[in-house]
Amino acid sequence: MRYLRFGRSGIFKVAQSKIEIPKLKIHNMRGVLLVNMGGPVSPEELKKFLSRMFKDPAILPFQKPIRNILSFIISRTRYKKSWEKYQLIGGTPLVSSTAKTALELQHLLGNTFLVKYAFSYSSPDIKRSLEDFKILNISDIVVIPLYPQSSHTTTSSVKADLNHVTDSDSFFHLTVVEEFYSHPGFIAFWIHLISKHLRDHGIKDPTLVFSAHSIPEYHVLHGDTYPTGIINSAALIASKLGYHYEAAFQSGMKRGKWIGPDVREHMKTMVEEGIDNLVLIPISFVHENLETKYDLDYELIPYAKDVLGLTNVTRVQLPEADPLLVGMLADLVRKS
């Protein structure tokens, strides 16, 4: 694990509003902030979500005026189609899953910590969450972006948002966990989920297909280590299980160059080589989201069955607040 220390029309109802962190003693307490991408719960919120995402220089590496124009156009032309996808999967699962993970982590860490969560592109945002800690006079905070493999597009974006606050406020002392894919707890988390999936479906001798969200090649050319993290993650987990495995990337946009191999094309190659009995593993996520429940379940798996003719292709599901994941997060906090 790597750490960075520095100072200075329908609306889905999500469980977030029902989850309350228990009242705790504030004296000498440390803070913990879990950060994820977030998710919209209404069409109007989806517009704001898309606008904030595409204004982020970590997502669109252009000058601010260009990002502002593009984010305005994208948020107003894509939101209807994107909202249809959210409706198909029953609304964003990521918000309630993150909230429940924070609650379980609070219970595990006890009353010497206060655990909160924030989102990069929806509410509560990072700035508001840090302000809440300050109101309680909690300055020593461990921040865990919930992205196992660090990327310019995710972890670095979170760090930039943190810097926007701390550059003008010396109150905070933050410790950021930059990535955790090599943590034994993360490996155990995936071994448990994959093994359970194989037992539950009676699957023997599968080929494990680790699928990760793609990123623009631009970032890799500028030093992004994300692809290496994905490949290492797959190798660490598959070596413990002893199955053949492949690693590929999903959900890349049509415009520009994105890292590959693309999982669709890679699965096509595997079929041509006579490989069947595939198990998809969304290795770059710790919670279900649009890219798992729609891109994989509604698009990729039907494509594999209906177009490629695969008869045995399944996906490992991500639980809302898995005890092994929560235990790993607690270990990261205690060691920070």
Predicted local confidence at residue 10, as pLDDT: 46
* Residue 47 in domain: no
Residues 239 and 165 in one domain: no
Residues 194 and 328 in one domain: no
Predicted local confidence at residue 30, as pLDDT: 98
Predicted local confidence at residue 70, as pLDDT: 86
Predicted local confidence at residue 329, as pLDDT: 98
- Give the model confidence (pLDDT) of 73-102 as tens digits: 988 888 999 999 999 999 999 999 999 999
* Residue 12 in domain: yes
My answer on whether omega of the bond before 124 falls inside 30° of 0, hence cis, is yes
Name which of 330, 283, 331 is nearest 102 in CA terms. Answer: 330
Q: Give the chain's domain count.
A: 2
Residues 22 and 98 in one domain: yes
Task: Report residue 72 CA to chain centroid gap.
Answer: 24
CATH code for the domain in which residue 171 is found:
3.40.50.1400
Name which of 214, 121, 112 is nearest 161 in CA terms. Answer: 121
Residues 166 and 292 in one domain: no
Predicted local confidence at residue 1, as pLDDT: 56
Measuring CA to CA, how many Å separate 34 from each of 28, 53, 257? 20, 18, 31
Predicted local confidence at residue 325, as pLDDT: 98
Beta bridge partners of 174: 6, 141
* Residue 60 in domain: no
Residues 129 and 164 in one domain: yes
Residues 198 and 257 in one domain: yes
Contact 58, 152 (CB under 8 A): yes
Residues 126 and 188 in one domain: no
DSSP H or E run through 64: helix 64-77
- Give the model confidence (pLDDT) of 291-313 as tens digits: 999 999 999 999 999 999 999 99
Predicted local confidence at residue 308, as pLDDT: 96
Predicted local confidence at residue 163, as pLDDT: 96
Residues 196 and 270 in one domain: yes
* Residue 73 in domain: no
3-state secondary structure of 117: strand
CA dihedral 193, 195, 196, 199 (to 10 degrees): 160
For residues 119 and 49, what is the distance between their CA atoms, to the nearest angstrom? 10
Residues 16 and 137 in one domain: yes
For residues 13 and 36, what is the distance between their CA atoms, to the nearest angstrom? 19
* Residue 86 in domain: no
Q: What does pTM read for this prediction?
A: 0.90
For residues 13 and 80, what is the distance between their CA atoms, to the nearest angstrom? 19
Predicted local confidence at residue 4, as pLDDT: 45
* Residue 112 in domain: yes
* Residue 69 in domain: no
Residue 145 phi, psi (nearest 5): -65, 130
Residues 219 and 303 in one domain: yes
Residue whose pair of structure tokens reads 């910590």 in the numeric block: 113
Name which of 149, 156, 143 is nearest 58 in CA terms. Answer: 156
User: Domain range holding 128?
Assistant: 2-40+91-180+322-334
Residues 33 and 109 in one domain: yes
Beta bridge partners of 115: 32
Residues of the chain with pLDDT below 70 are 1-27
* Residue 57 in domain: no
Residues 7 and 153 in one domain: yes
